[in-house]
């Protein structure tokens, strides 16, 4: 009986163990809640920081886009201005030639004057990067030429080659800005 008095019934031991486990779980849950709260605060701060960075980058990009549109517009205006400044003296020369040709009976000086004006125009456009390319006698190239018509070739050597050029082709730098209009032998 002695053993009986000092011993704790097994049911009570199970209850005590369950209470201890429950207390441990509660402490663990409290620690987890505190950690979660700290993590939530850190996450919220990080979200605010990233959102702020995003807004700043978006604003910076929008300003960059507006600035480049404005700069592009200015470049186009400046380029057109330069071309027209180069052409204005040629227009003046043509106007003077027309005035001088009113009373002239000899055609030879008129031809010379027109040739001088044409040369001046070609030089002005070449300084701006415009170059004419020859297509007469070359093989037809659809990247730089437009075939207006095809005619039968006189011999096999002419087949696929340009035999007449109706309009010259022009390049601005490396870009074709006007295709040569040609007649191709078949």
Burial string for 94-119 (b: 16+ CB within 10 Å, else e) reads beebeeeeeeeeeeeeeeebeeebee
Query: What is the structure's pLDDT at 13?
Result: 54
pLDDT over threshold 50, residue 186 = yes
Query: What is the structure's pLDDT at 20?
Result: 54
What is the rounded CA–CA span in Å between residue 93 and residue 128?
Answer: 19
Instruction: Determine what percent of the chain is predicted with pLDDT higher than 90.
Output: 56
The tens digit of pLDDT for each residue in 45-99 reads 899 999 999 999 999 999 999 999 999 999 988 888 888 888 999 999 999 888 8
Taking the model in full, what pTM does it have? 0.57
Query: What is the structure's pLDDT at 161?
Result: 96
Q: Which domains does the chain have, with CATH numbers?
A: 9-128 (3.90.20), 130-186 (2.30.22.10)
Mean pLDDT of 134-138: 93
Instruction: Answer yes or no: are the C-beta atoms of 169 and 130 closer than 8 Å.
Output: no
The dihedral sign for the CA sequence 130, 169, 75, 82: positive
Query: What is the structure's pLDDT at 66?
Result: 96
Q: How many CB atoms lie within 10 A of CB 159?
A: 14
């Amino acid at each position: 009986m002695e053993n009986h008095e000092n011993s704790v019934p097994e049911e009570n031991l199970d209850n005590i163990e369950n209470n201890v486990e429950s207390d441990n779980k509660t402490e663990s849950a409290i620690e987890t809640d505190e950690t979660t709260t700290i993590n939530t605060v850190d996450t919220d701060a990080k979200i605010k920081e990233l959102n702020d960075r995003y807004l700043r980058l978006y604003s910076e990009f929008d300003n960059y886009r507006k600035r480049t549109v404005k700069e592009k517009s200015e470049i186009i205006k400046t380029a057109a201005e330069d071309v027209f400044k180069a052409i204005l003296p040629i227009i003046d020369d043509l106007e003077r030639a027309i005035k001088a040709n009113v009373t002239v009976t000899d055609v030879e000086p008129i031809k010379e004057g027109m040739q001088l004006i044409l040369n001046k125009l070609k030089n002005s456009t070449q300084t701006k990067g415009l170059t004419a390319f020859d297509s007469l006698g070359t093989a037809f190239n659809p990247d730089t030429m437009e075939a207006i018509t095809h005619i039968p070739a006189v011999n096999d050597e002419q087949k696929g080659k340009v035999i007449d050029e109706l309009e010259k082709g022009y390049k601005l730098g490396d870009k074709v800005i006007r295709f040569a209009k040609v007649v191709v032998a078949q």
